[in-house]
Amino acid sequence: MDRFLSEFENKFRAGFLPDLEQTLAKVELEKVYACVFGTDSDWITLFMAVNTEESLTRHITNMKEQGLCDSEQDEIYYRWGCSEYQYGEETHFNHISRLLYATEDVQKYKDEIIRIIAKVVNETADDVFARYGQTKADITFFVSLTDDDLAEEIENQSVHQMTNPSLLSKFLKRYDGIN
């Protein structure tokens, strides 16, 4: 394995579980439905964000009060747009972002980075989630780009690798029928 990919996997593996547990502890009384790993089009940053059904409901209510949510399309955006997720502000894998930033043409590794993230998520024991009142099989995991038109393609590619198959159809159809 390429030295960069080996180092990325080691750093991601070391940072994921503590960040995940810290985030799950904050939302222990809520129902997590999504966990996203966000990056930019250059693949030089990485963060994790989580959203819950309860935080989504509060956020949509707040956006409606401000006149910023008045359609099904808006609600779908708030459900799946990682920049709208309410938990994860402390999970900016800074040690990984430094590695990504220091690597020339890091975006050429995007498929391998997604594969490594999925591998670590898949290897994370269900009981880690259960300790915080969550069920791993009920969470949609995916990678997203915060600043690129390819975000939906990356999301659809990555969700297959780390999400329970029973959740895939709903996620993949999230924008169907929306004009």
Per-residue pLDDT tens digits for 60-113: 999 999 999 999 999 999 999 988 999 987 766 888 988 999 999 998 999 999
Average pLDDT over residues 165-170: 94
Q: What pLDDT was estimated at residue 109?
A: 95
Q: What is the pLDDT of residues 102-157, one digit of tens each?
A: 999 998 999 999 999 999 999 999 999 999 999 999 999 999 998 888 899 999 99
Judge whether 93 and 47 are in contact, CB under 8 Å: yes
Q: Please, what's the b/e burial string for 145-165 (b: 16 or more CB within 10 A of its CB; e: otherwise)?
A: beebeebeebbeebbebbbee
DSSP of 118-157: HHHHHHS-HHHHHTTT--GGG-EEEEEESS-TTHHHHHHH
What local confidence, expressed as pLDDT, does residue 154 receive?
A: 95
State the DSSP H helix or E strand holding residue 50, giving kind and residue range, or none if neither: strand 47-52
The predicted structure's pLDDT at residue 62: 96
Can you say whether the dihedral through the CA atoms of 27, 33, 37, 39 is positive or negative? negative
What single-letter DSSP state applies at residue 40?
A: -
- Taking the C-alpha atoms of residue 57 and residue 31, their distance in angstroms, rounded to an integer, is 11
Instruction: Give me the sheet containing 47-52, strands edge to edge.
Output: 47-52, 32-39, 140-145
pLDDT above 90 (res 179): no
Residue 1 has pLDDT above 70, yes or no: no
Mean residue pLDDT across the chain:
92
**What number is the average pLDDT over the span 21-45?**
94
pLDDT for 91: 63
Alpha-carbon distance of 94 to 85, in angstroms, equals 19
Q: Which two tokens stand for residue 137?
A: 């099989």
Give the percent of the chain with pLDDT over 90: 80
